[in-house]
């Protein structure tokens, strides 16, 4: 049985990792997989990716790195992702992973002209009939932390999501590749940890960390998205019947 692959592109904040673990653990939990195995490759530590046809599906994590810096490990991962997309592998890019997918497929990522977005946010979906996002409500409540965004989608991309800070918050390419700028694997507790960890940066940019903390709230939307992606991968592998 081919595994689902988590491409880990960075590490969470140390104080969060000490009590809650890291991106790959939260994603694995949210996917809700049964018998399908899960492998993690830490590309930011130069671990080697397997052949794309050796995996059932892929989730690309967030990262404190910046896609626009074009670090060698990131560019290698982008090239691998372009091959995986061409082969029809089911792929979900999260935050950095969303930006990296867009970059790999001919789009452009870079600093958000509107500045940092962090906290519990609302995202507007326009995804009727979409295999991954179509069953979710039009207005999502999710968690986010980023300073870079997708500035231009790849030519063939279908826009799926936006919010007041980001017109390119989600896309699909073909029938098997998705990117979302938010973090469906975060809950409100993790989000508060990020706001506390970025408190000085937020305040230095003119933001209000205490107000952001007060607005943090949990939502089932992110977990539903991850669970749906896990179901799509298991269905494709014949592990689970149609939802």
Instruction: Kindly name the residue from 44, 168, 183, 221 that is annotated as catalytic.
Output: 183
Instruction: Kindly name the residue from 98, 148, 185, 234 that is annotated as catalytic.
Output: 185
CA 140 to chain centre: 15
In terms of Cα–Cα distance, which of 146, 45, 133 is closest to 97? 146
Residue 185 annotated in active site: yes
User: With the C-alpha atoms ordered 129, 31, 99, 40, is the resulting torsion angle positive or negative?
Assistant: negative
- The pair of structure tokens assigned to 209 is 């960390």
Residue 95 annotated in active site: yes
Residue 168 annotated in active site: no
- The DSSP annotation for 85-108 comes to HHTT-EEEEETHHHHHHHHHTT-E
- The DSSP annotation for 105-172 comes to TT-EEEE-TT--EEEEEEEEE--TT-TTTTTS-SEEEEEEEESEEEEE--TT-EEEEEETTEEEEEEE
What span, in angstroms and rounded, lies between the C-alpha atoms of 192 and 184? 15
In terms of Cα–Cα distance, which of 87, 84, 118 is closest to 101? 84
Work out the burial of residue 48: count CB atoms within 10 Å of its CB; fewer than 13 is exposed, 13-18 middle, 19 or more buried: exposed
Instruction: Kindly name the residue from 44, 95, 98, 168 that is annotated as catalytic.
Output: 95
Question: What are the catalytic residues?
Answer: 95, 183, 185
């Amino acid at each position: 049985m081919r595994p689902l692959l988590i491409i880990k592109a960075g590490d969470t904040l140390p104080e969060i990792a000490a009590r809650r673990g890291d991106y790959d653990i939260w994603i694995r939990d949210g996917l809700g997989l049964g018998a399908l195995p899960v492998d993690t490759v830490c590309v930011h530590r130069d671990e080697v990716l397997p052949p794309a046809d050796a995996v059932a599906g892929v989730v690309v994590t967030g990262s404190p790195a910046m896609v626009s810096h074009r670090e060698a490990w990131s560019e290698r991962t982008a090239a691998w992702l372009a091959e995986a997309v061409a082969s029809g592998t089911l792929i979900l890019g999260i935050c950095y992973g969303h930006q990296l997918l867009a970059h790999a497929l001919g789009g452009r990522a870079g600093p958000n002209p509107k500045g940092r977005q962090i906290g519990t946010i609302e995202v507007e979906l326009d995804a009727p009939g979409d295999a991954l996002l179509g069953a979710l409500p039009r207005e999502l409540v999710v968690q986010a932390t980023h300073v870079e965004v997708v500035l231009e989608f790849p030519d063939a991309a279908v826009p799926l999501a936006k919010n007041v800070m980001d017109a390119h918050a989600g896309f699909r390419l073909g029938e098997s590749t998705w990117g979302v700028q938010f973090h469906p694997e975060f809950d409100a507790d993790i989000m508060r940890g990020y706001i506390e960890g970025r408190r000085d940066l937020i305040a230095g940019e003119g933001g209000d960390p205490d107000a952001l903390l007060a607005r943090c709230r949990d939502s089932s939307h992110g977990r539903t998205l991850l669970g749906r992606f896990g179901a799509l991968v298991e269905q494709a592998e014949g592990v689970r019947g149609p939802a």
